[in-house]
Each structure stands twice: as C-alpha cells, then as structure tokens.
Amino acid sequence: MKLAITTVDAFTNKAFSGNPAAICLLNDELSDDQMQTIAMEMNLSETAFVERTTEPDSFSLRWFTPSLEIDLCGHATLASAFWMVKSDWVQAGSMIRFQTRSGELRVKSDGDWIEMDFPLIPTTEDDHPFFKEDFFGLKIINSAKLKKNWIFELENADAIEACIPDFAEVKKHSEEGIIITAVGKGQFDIYSRFFGPNVGIDEDPVTGFAHCALMDYWYQKSGKNRISAYQASKRGGELNLEKREDRVIIRGHAVKVLSGVIELFQMDK
C-alpha cells in the first residue's frame, strides 16, 4: 500500500516559514497505530489525516503530534483545507465541514486565504503556582489559565522575541504547554509564542489553537474583536483573528513545499 503525503507551510505565503504540517488525504482506512507511526516518522508538530464521510463536503479530520493524538490544531486544519482545494477534493470557495474531536469545524477558501471557524477558548485570570513573577527572567505582568495551558503576558514584543525558556522546567510546570504574549509592534496588535514539550513540541512555530484562547484573553483586555497577530518563533507566522460570539474566525495563507509517497507494506494495521 502506498500513501501520498504532502507537507504544507501554514500561516505564511512564503515557503520554509510559518508552521509545517504533513497532510494525508485518505482513500483507504488507516488504524490509529498507523497514523501515530506516520506522525512519528514525519516528526513535525502535526500530521493530519483526512477521510471522506458519507455526507457531501463533510470529512473526518484527525491530528497527531509525534507522540499523541490531540483535540484541536489550527495550522494543520488550514493546511488540510488548502491541500484539499489544490488536490480537487473540494471546490474552491465551498464550505468544508470537518468532523473532529473538538466538534464540527467549518473552513473555506477565499481567494488566497483560508478562513477557519473555530471555538473560542475561555481564559480566566489566575496566578501560576510556579511562574509567579517572571518567566525565565522576563517579568510577567498578567497570567491566565485555560483547560490544559497557561497564558503569560510579558511587558512587550521585544520580551517575547528575547525569551529563552528551559523546556525541562516548562514541561515540569505545565500540563500541555505555555503561551507567552504581549502587545505587538509594527502592523501587529499582538505577539505570542507557544511552548509545548508535554505534547512533543518544545516550541510550535505557529499555533492556531493558542489564538483561540488569545482572542478571548485580548478581547477581555481591549474589547477589540478583530486582531492582527504574529507568532514570533524562528519561522514566524501571521494570523488575522475575529471574535464572533463564542467562535473565532482565523484567517491565514499556506504554501505547499513537499510531496511524496510512504510505503506501508511493512506496517501492521
């Protein structure tokens, strides 16, 4: 059995930046173990598996890090929709309905943009039990928690860029990961970075799920329901966010960088 696989850089219009995801458009069923093994082999922050359902424009979508399956991933969703359009799995401009562990996600292409309708993730101001005043020498001016992650607001965008975390400490003192954020600079309203060693990603280049929480966090602070965001990893990525009641519209670009074939004949199903 041969499986086509494609690497797409998400939240960028320039190759070798943004966040890479491996995309498998499945014509044949794979087992959970096969999906996890492929994700481990690809060794990207996420590998996405898309499968048709019996309903028109409805697809099963699952996301795997190199070590486990996760509930929500923005950049691999954007990359999947982008590649489905380019591969003629769906028509450009049509609404794609993804059935996921986080419920139904609706995505569509709009010219060069991919627009995703995601759930807003509520955040609650709270003090972290370990990182109380600073995050590796950088002052924390506010902190908030979500279900399995924390947000630390630092003093400015320069602090976000300068941060050098000890990933062993981050792993020890978080359940999934930690988002750092600050008021942005230049054309961007906010800056952020995401560290998730407990899910197999020391630093994720661009994180859609984190911005579902950042939209809530910054809306509470500023009242703005539209935000231009930059994730300041080494690769960097740009996102446009809009709050619509309990949903977040996330818009971004994507570009294909690699296509290939995986041989599955030695894998047990």
Q: Where in the sequence numbering do the catalytic residues fall?
A: 46
Task: Pull the structure tokens for residue 33.
Answer: 């173990």
d(C-alpha 175, C-alpha 143), whole Å = 16
Q: Checking phi first, is residue 67 left (phi over 0); if not, alpha (psi -120 to 50) or beta?
A: alpha
- As beta bridge partners, residue 64 has 47, 69
CA distances from 79 to 13, 62, 72, 94, 125 (A): 12, 13, 13, 16, 32
- Can you read off the two tokens belonging to residue 45? 């922050």
Distance (Å, rounded) from C-alpha 181 to C-alpha 199? 20
Cα dihedral across residues 126, 130, 133, 137: positive or negative: negative
